Amino acid sequence: MLWHKLPKSIYFRRGSLPIALDEVITDGHKRALIVTDRFLFNNGYADQITSVLKAAGVETEVFFEVEADPTLNYRS
Protein backbone atom coordinates (compact mmCIF):
# COMPACT_ATOMS: atom_id res chain seq x y z
CA MET A 1 0.00 0.00 0.00
CA LEU A 2 1.23 3.49 -0.84
CA TRP A 3 0.36 6.51 1.27
CA HIS A 4 1.43 10.08 1.76
CA LYS A 5 1.17 12.04 4.98
CA LEU A 6 0.51 15.74 4.43
CA PRO A 7 2.14 18.30 6.69
CA LYS A 8 0.15 20.00 9.41
CA SER A 9 0.77 23.37 7.74
CA ILE A 10 0.93 24.54 4.15
CA TYR A 11 2.30 28.06 3.64
CA PHE A 12 1.41 29.99 0.52
CA ARG A 13 1.12 33.69 1.38
CA ARG A 14 3.65 36.34 0.51
CA GLY A 15 6.20 36.63 3.29
CA SER A 16 5.56 33.20 4.79
CA LEU A 17 8.81 31.61 3.61
CA PRO A 18 10.92 32.48 6.69
CA ILE A 19 8.18 31.11 8.96
CA ALA A 20 7.87 27.89 6.98
CA LEU A 21 11.64 27.34 6.82
CA ASP A 22 11.98 27.97 10.55
CA GLU A 23 9.24 25.42 11.28
CA VAL A 24 10.84 22.77 9.08
CA ILE A 25 14.24 23.26 10.67
CA THR A 26 13.22 23.66 14.33
CA ASP A 27 10.78 20.73 14.20
CA GLY A 28 13.66 18.50 13.13
CA HIS A 29 12.35 17.44 9.75
CA LYS A 30 14.89 15.47 7.72
CA ARG A 31 13.31 15.72 4.25
CA ALA A 32 11.34 18.34 2.32
CA LEU A 33 9.50 18.31 -1.00
CA ILE A 34 9.27 21.67 -2.76
CA VAL A 35 6.38 21.85 -5.25
CA THR A 36 6.47 24.73 -7.73
CA ASP A 37 5.96 25.62 -11.36
CA ARG A 38 8.64 25.64 -14.05
CA PHE A 39 8.87 29.47 -14.17
CA LEU A 40 9.74 29.81 -10.49
CA PHE A 41 12.14 26.88 -10.72
CA ASN A 42 13.94 28.25 -13.78
CA ASN A 43 14.29 31.68 -12.16
CA GLY A 44 16.03 30.39 -9.04
CA TYR A 45 13.27 30.73 -6.47
CA ALA A 46 13.50 27.06 -5.51
CA ASP A 47 17.28 27.41 -5.10
CA GLN A 48 16.75 30.04 -2.40
CA ILE A 49 14.72 27.54 -0.41
CA THR A 50 16.82 24.44 -1.01
CA SER A 51 20.07 26.19 -0.08
CA VAL A 52 18.71 27.12 3.36
CA LEU A 53 17.31 23.64 3.94
CA LYS A 54 20.45 21.85 2.78
CA ALA A 55 22.59 24.06 5.03
CA ALA A 56 20.39 22.90 7.93
CA GLY A 57 20.88 19.24 6.97
CA VAL A 58 17.44 18.76 5.40
CA GLU A 59 17.35 16.53 2.31
CA THR A 60 15.37 18.30 -0.42
CA GLU A 61 13.67 17.36 -3.66
CA VAL A 62 12.00 19.80 -6.08
CA PHE A 63 8.99 18.96 -8.25
CA PHE A 64 8.48 21.71 -10.84
CA GLU A 65 5.99 20.30 -13.31
CA VAL A 66 2.97 22.01 -11.79
CA GLU A 67 0.83 24.02 -14.20
CA ALA A 68 0.98 27.65 -13.02
CA ASP A 69 -2.69 28.57 -13.53
CA PRO A 70 -4.52 25.30 -14.16
CA THR A 71 -8.01 25.20 -15.59
CA LEU A 72 -10.80 23.06 -14.24
CA ASN A 73 -11.03 21.15 -17.52
CA TYR A 74 -10.25 17.46 -17.41
CA ARG A 75 -7.34 16.27 -19.53
CA SER A 76 -7.13 12.69 -20.68
Q: Give the span between the Cα atoms of 60 and 51, in whole angstroms.
A: 9
Give the tens place of pLDDT for each residue, 1-60: 777 777 677 777 888 889 988 988 898 889 988 989 999 999 999 999 999 999 999 999
Cβ contact 73:43 at 8 Å:
no
User: Looking only at Cα atoms, what is the longest distance across the chain?
Assistant: 42
Q: Give the span between the Cα atoms of 53 and 76, in whole angstroms.
A: 36
Q: Give the span between the Cα atoms of 8 and 54, in whole angstroms.
A: 21
Q: What radius of gyration, in Å, describes the C-alpha atoms of the chain?
A: 14
- Helix or strand or coil: residue 50? helix
- The whole-model pTM stands at 0.72
